[in-house]
Chains A and B, each alone.
Chain A
Amino acid sequence: MASRNISVSETSRPKLPRHTKLKFDETRQVWVILAPERVLAPDEIAVEVLQLCDGVRSVAEMVDQLAEKYAAPREAIATDVVAMLQDLADKGFLTEARESTA
């Protein structure tokens, strides 16, 4: 059973649990997160970060990618991304990929 209490660091490889779905709502033209009996609307930055959470990429790799894309200081991006992911994890919207599936 996946743990619901994960601690996000740069070495984490977070992903959305099976019961949390990120999708684009064509009717309302917004991104939504579908969770048990809840519908949330993530902002643009949250959507971009969540789309990178595939259980393969580490948070460090995500930060590198975003720092390059936005030509922003890596340290500032890292702080924001880890804080955002930790909040999402605390709400149950993220889980951690299991160690080695080999």
Chain B
Amino acid sequence: MSDTLADNKTTTPGPNAAPSDGLAVLESHRSAAETHGIPLAVLLEITHRCPLQCPYCSNPVELDRGSTELSTDEWKKVLSELAELGVLQIHFSGGEPTARKDIVELVQHATDVGLYSNLITSAVLLTKDKLSALADAGLSHVQISFQGNEPSVADRVAGLKDAHKKKLEVAKWTRELDMPLTVNAVMHRQNLHQLPDIIQMAVDLDADRLEVANVQYYGWALKNRAALMPTIEQIEETSRIVEEAQVRLKGTLAIDYVVPDYYALRPKKCMGGWGRQFFNISPAGKVLPCHAAESITGLEFESVRSNHSIAWIWQNSEAFNRYRGTGWMPEPCKSCEFREVDYGGCRCQAFALTGDAGNTDPACALSPRHEEIFKQAERESAGTQNRFLYRNFAGGTLETDEHQDNPNGA
């Protein structure tokens, strides 16, 4: 899945609302609880198991094993509780959510309790019958990740033979079943040259939406930063291509664009601010402020298996309150006029790059570490290290030389 979900798409207005449509975008603050109302949408990472091995996987480096996953009944109880709290949408994600044998049963339960279901999938485990059963169970939207626009790059990044071909097939079935399709393309130095073709691929697949998501560098992606970091020239070219396509394809394909924050001056408003409008639940049932939060050591996260309700965990647990609002901030955030614009950026990135999640995100030009980290990333982007460390339960496996014959790097 992509990190763009982190920006809480659900509350982001689409292209400017036309005057007579009678629509407003519902913001989280309109919910019952005044200060930090229950999110409109919740991400459920129902498993970390996945047949793909993408080197930028957004799952934590320490993956939850199958044996620790919540049972079918436990997930159903979670879904019922979320619906009762006022959550409106569920994103079934992973790992690969269809690696769970009970995925149809879980989607059906979500529908039964009134939740709107999105599936965020690699697609490679789906059959037409399974997808059809998911549609019958009430699934309303399918998002498929693509690693490139053709097999030589895409299958190499995914670390799985014939993955690309399968994805194309499932995308077609999705539209045949009349479900809206989002193509999610995670971009980095070794596939950015394919962007124009990826945009055309999304059009040809009759997708409604394309997410062009530059890799965000923590967890697995940070381990692979030297092989993935784009050059600043690539990013400038990418922005130009995306802006041109957004205009050209208006009304045909909506394109969302996530820039890599290493090349920005201001940090991203990660998760819309810690504990403000987003939480996710890990395979083992931990309620987390962000899907990378477990990378921050020293924070204790409560589980749905505890004696606490999800509402209690969201409102009262120490982990959610630690970086909520602006009270925790050090300088330069504390007195910064943008403190409620970006909420200090990303806690996971601050932890990964400075060793303290309470520091200013080094993506911010005001961070004392910004210059040093940006220069290092720039050097890496110009380097020739194209070899991937693939994600897996064994702590990662280095790509063999054989696969590296055709690096499409800078």
Contacts and interface: CB of A to CB of B under 8 A. Distances in A.
Contact of B88 (A17, A32, A36, A90): A32
A38 B209 CA distance: 12
Residue of B89, B114, B118, B175 most packed against chain A (CB within 10 A):
B89
Interface in B169-225: 175-176, 178-180, 182, 206, 208-209
Nearest to A88: B21
Contacts of A4: 208
A32 B179 CA distance: 20
A43 interface: yes
Interface stretch (B22-30, B268-276, B278-286, B294-302): B22-30
B86 interface: yes
Contacts of B40: 39
Contacts of A5: 251
A91 B141 contact: no
Contacts of A37: 5, 9-10, 41, 89, 91, 118, 141, 182
B33 to A, nearest CB: 9
Contact of A36 (B30, B32, B118, B176): B118
Nearest to A84: B20
Contact of A39 (B11, B20, B85, B180): B11
Contact of A18 (B26, B118, B178): B178
A94 to B, nearest CB: 11
B18 interface: yes
Nearest to B25: A40
Interface residues of A, number: 36
Interface string A1-39: 110110000000000011101010111101011101111
Given A23-B114, A90-B251, A40 B26 contact: yes
A88 to B, nearest CB: 6
A96 to B, nearest CB: 13
A41 B24 contact: yes
Residue of A23, A37, A83, A87 most packed against chain B (CB within 10 A):
A37
B93 to A, nearest CB: 12
A92 interface: yes
Interface in B57-102: 85-86, 88-89, 91
Contact of A40 (B18, B24, B175, B176): B24
Contacts of A32: 26, 88
Interface in B12-65: 14, 18, 20-26, 30-32, 38, 40-41
A75 interface: no
A27 B32 contact: yes
A73 interface: no
Nearest to B115: A34
A87 B116 CA distance: 23
Given A1-B178, A27-B31, A42 B23 contact: yes
Given A19-B141, A21-B116, A39-B40, A90 B175 contact: no
Contacts of A84: 20-22
B14 to A, nearest CB: 7
Interface of A: 1-2, 4-5, 17-19, 21, 23, 25-28, 30, 32-34, 36-43, 45-46, 49, 80, 83-84, 87-88, 90-92
25 contacts: A1-B176, A1-B178, A18-B178, A19-B179, A28-B30, A28-B31, A28-B32, A30-B26, A32-B88, A34-B88, A34-B89, A36-B182, A36-B208, A36-B209, A37-B91, A37-B118, A37-B141, A38-B10, A39-B10, A39-B40, A41-B23, A41-B25, A42-B22, A46-B22, A88-B23
Interface of B: 5, 9-11, 14, 18, 20-26, 30-32, 38, 40-41, 85-86, 88-89, 91, 114, 116, 118, 140-141, 175-176, 178-180, 182, 206, 208-209, 251
